[in-house]
Amino acid sequence: MVDLNEVKITPRDEQVLKLLVLGCSNNEIALELKISPRTVKQHLRTLFLRAGIRDGRKRVKLATAMFMKERAQWPLGTN
Protein backbone atom coordinates (compact mmCIF):
# COMPACT_ATOMS: atom_id res chain seq x y z
CA MET A 1 0.00 0.00 0.00
CA VAL A 2 1.18 3.50 -0.82
CA ASP A 3 1.26 6.01 2.06
CA LEU A 4 0.07 9.24 0.45
CA ASN A 5 1.14 11.22 3.50
CA GLU A 6 4.75 10.56 2.51
CA VAL A 7 4.32 11.49 -1.17
CA LYS A 8 4.52 15.11 -2.35
CA ILE A 9 1.21 15.85 -4.06
CA THR A 10 0.55 19.21 -5.70
CA PRO A 11 -2.99 20.63 -5.87
CA ARG A 12 -3.17 19.69 -9.58
CA ASP A 13 -1.88 16.19 -8.82
CA GLU A 14 -4.67 15.83 -6.29
CA GLN A 15 -7.27 16.86 -8.88
CA VAL A 16 -5.90 14.27 -11.30
CA LEU A 17 -5.89 11.60 -8.57
CA LYS A 18 -9.46 12.32 -7.49
CA LEU A 19 -10.68 11.86 -11.06
CA LEU A 20 -8.59 8.70 -11.37
CA VAL A 21 -10.27 7.33 -8.24
CA LEU A 22 -13.65 8.06 -9.81
CA GLY A 23 -12.63 5.79 -12.69
CA CYS A 24 -11.93 8.45 -15.29
CA SER A 25 -9.57 7.70 -18.16
CA ASN A 26 -6.65 9.99 -18.98
CA ASN A 27 -8.73 11.56 -21.77
CA GLU A 28 -11.69 12.16 -19.43
CA ILE A 29 -9.39 13.69 -16.82
CA ALA A 30 -7.87 15.95 -19.48
CA LEU A 31 -11.30 17.14 -20.62
CA GLU A 32 -12.47 17.80 -17.07
CA LEU A 33 -9.33 19.73 -16.07
CA LYS A 34 -8.92 21.42 -19.47
CA ILE A 35 -5.40 20.08 -19.95
CA SER A 36 -3.93 17.75 -22.55
CA PRO A 37 -3.97 13.96 -22.12
CA ARG A 38 -0.18 14.13 -22.33
CA THR A 39 -0.13 16.47 -19.30
CA VAL A 40 -2.36 14.05 -17.38
CA LYS A 41 0.02 11.23 -18.24
CA GLN A 42 2.96 13.29 -17.01
CA HIS A 43 1.24 14.10 -13.70
CA LEU A 44 0.57 10.40 -13.15
CA ARG A 45 4.07 9.36 -14.19
CA THR A 46 5.59 11.86 -11.74
CA LEU A 47 3.28 10.71 -8.95
CA PHE A 48 4.13 7.06 -9.61
CA LEU A 49 7.83 7.85 -9.37
CA ARG A 50 7.39 9.84 -6.14
CA ALA A 51 5.32 7.01 -4.66
CA GLY A 52 7.86 4.39 -5.73
CA ILE A 53 5.32 2.59 -7.92
CA ARG A 54 7.04 0.93 -10.84
CA ASP A 55 5.04 -2.17 -11.80
CA GLY A 56 2.09 -2.68 -14.12
CA ARG A 57 -0.54 -2.28 -11.42
CA LYS A 58 0.47 1.28 -10.58
CA ARG A 59 -2.87 2.93 -11.36
CA VAL A 60 -4.73 0.50 -9.13
CA LYS A 61 -2.27 0.94 -6.26
CA LEU A 62 -2.36 4.73 -6.45
CA ALA A 63 -6.14 4.88 -6.85
CA THR A 64 -6.59 2.51 -3.88
CA ALA A 65 -4.31 4.63 -1.72
CA MET A 66 -6.24 7.76 -2.69
CA PHE A 67 -9.58 6.05 -1.99
CA MET A 68 -8.40 4.92 1.44
CA LYS A 69 -7.21 8.44 2.26
CA GLU A 70 -10.57 9.92 1.21
CA ARG A 71 -12.49 7.23 3.09
CA ALA A 72 -10.57 7.96 6.29
CA GLN A 73 -11.85 11.55 6.10
CA TRP A 74 -15.53 10.59 5.79
CA PRO A 75 -17.75 11.24 8.83
CA LEU A 76 -18.41 8.15 10.98
CA GLY A 77 -21.29 6.03 9.79
CA THR A 78 -21.01 6.97 6.10
CA ASN A 79 -18.46 4.36 5.05
Nearest Cα residue to 51 out of 1, 7, 13, 20: 7
pLDDT by residue for the chain (79 residues), tens digit each? 556 677 788 899 889 988 887 888 999 999 999 999 999 999 988 888 887 777 666 666 666 776 677 667 666 544 4
Whether pTM exceeds 0.85: no
The domains located in the chain, with CATH, are: 4-72 (1.10.10.10)
**SS3 at position 33:** helix
